[in-house]
Amino acid sequence: MAKPARTRKVAAKPTAASTDPDFALHSLQADHEANRKFAASDDQLLEFYEQMLLIRRFEEKAGQLYGLGLIGGFCHLYIGQEAVAVGLQSALKEGLDSVITGYRDHGHMLAYGIDPKVIMAELTGRQAGISKGKGGSMHMFSTEHKFYGGHGIVGAQVALGGGLALAHKYKEDGGLCLAYFGDGAANQGQVYETFNMAALWNLPIVFVIENNGYAMGTAVKRSSAETEFYRRGTAFRIPGMDVNGMDVLEVRAAAEIAFAHVREGKGPVLMELNTYRYRGHSMSDPAKYRSREEVQEQRDHNDPIERLKKELAERGRSEADIKAIDKAIRARVAEAADFAENSPEPEPAELYTDVLVESY
């Protein structure tokens, strides 16, 4: 079960971790705790709501299409975790910063403004899919949006993200890389190899551990000796942040602090986003490792979309407005599903294209 966000009193100001003899793991956490909520404008609030709802409805539809046999293979849904991708990605500089993640990638792509139609068409394996139907749920990319995947090997995206950050630094373009991984991937060796080099070379990278409580079906306390994941960079002098990933405004506020630190050339930051996935690990997950009540508890009392809906109401958004948004998003998702169902499959000749870029 997602651990509650902790509060603690720490006094340290952000400093370059690698040179400061008084390096403190909690240096950024103190700033975060001093200013937990992002002061969103009404428009921003509405945008966050729409983006999160789009992810929710999209994923529900993907689940349905899977049940109908239109989506095959592995399909990992992001339902419950929406505030993480939306809160973080809303703070990025579009067209400059790069993003990379693992196989639970639909939500990150939608949060980046990538057309739901081409994502859904990829899930159904169609020519119009973002990877021409050759990648599937776990392997989607949009170099145009600087979204670098969509990687199926647990933890690989962390090292690749280190490379994207190296490229930002090499080109001196001022960009940073946001590299997402789960509490499961956090136990992979290459993650720590990357932490080491990222800190050693002062790379502009934000490591984001989406701790949804379970590595597939294994609860964090059954797989991890240190379950406070934000501490996992301590050995490499990487400051950690412990963030409530179920509140988009808290996520966004934390992102501002982390990104500023990295952009100032102070090296990597490790953020732990405490979140929860309502659905199984993948579509074929019997969910016997947790209770129905645990899931319901999160849905009823900690849902990021319901939380924001309340906030919108408090700011005077009418019920009718919110219904209208919901309706528009349902229509958009239905349109994406129709497109994905009715687009043609790839031509057989596509089998042989894109193996290599050049001809030899």
Residues 43-102 that bind other proteins (CB under 8 A): 60-61, 63-70, 72-74, 98, 100
Q: No. of H helices and E strands in the chain?
A: 12, 8
Residue 97's CB is within 10 A of a number of other CB atoms, namely 23
Site stretch for other proteins (CB under 8 A), options 11-19, 131-139, 232-240, 309-317? 131-139
Burial of 298 (0-12, 13-18, 19+ CB in 10 A): buried
Specify the amino acid at residue 175.
Answer: G
Contact yes or no for 261/292 (Cβ under 8 A): no
Taking the least distance from each CB to other proteins, the nearer of 168 and 309 is 168
CB of 71 to other proteins, least distance (A): 8
| Residue 2 to residues 83, 88, 179, 338, Cα–Cα distance (Å) | 14, 19, 21, 35
Looking only at the bridges linking them, the beta strands covering 214-215 and 218-219 are antiparallel
Phi, psi of 254 (to 5 degrees): -65, -40
177/147 Cα distance (integer angstroms): 10
CB of 297 to other proteins, least distance (A): 12
Residue 9's CB is within 10 A of a number of other CB atoms, namely 7
Q: Is 160 in the site for other proteins (CB under 8 A)?
A: yes
Q: How many residues bind other proteins (CB under 8 A)?
A: 87
Looking only at the bridges linking them, the beta strands covering 240-244 and 269-274 are parallel
Give residues 251-290 in contact with other proteins (rule: CB under 8 A).
278, 283-284, 286-288
Binding characters for other proteins, 177-206, by CB under 8 A (x = yes): ------------xx--xx-xx--xx-----
CB of 170 to other proteins, least distance (A): 6
Taking the least distance from each CB to other proteins, the nearer of 30 and 287 is 287
Taking the least distance from each CB to other proteins, the nearer of 317 and 330 is 330
Q: Is 161 in the site for other proteins (CB under 8 A)?
A: yes
**Near other proteins by CB under 8 A: residue from 299, 317, 322, 332:** 299
280/78 Cα distance (integer angstroms): 10
**Near other proteins by CB under 8 A: residue from 168, 237, 252, 281:** 168
Taking the least distance from each CB to other proteins, the nearer of 10 and 74 is 74
Taking the least distance from each CB to other proteins, the nearer of 10 and 216 is 216
113/97 Cα distance (integer angstroms): 14
CB of 31 to other proteins, least distance (A): 29
Contact yes or no for 226/189 (Cβ under 8 A): no
3-state class of 182 per DSSP? strand
The residue assigned the tokens 């169609």 is 126
CB of 112 to other proteins, least distance (A): 14
CB of 162 to other proteins, least distance (A): 4
Taking the least distance from each CB to other proteins, the nearer of 229 and 278 is 278
Give residues 319-358 in contact with other proteins (rule: CB under 8 A).
323, 326-327, 330, 334, 337, 341-342, 345, 347-358
Q: Is 148 in the site for other proteins (CB under 8 A)?
A: yes
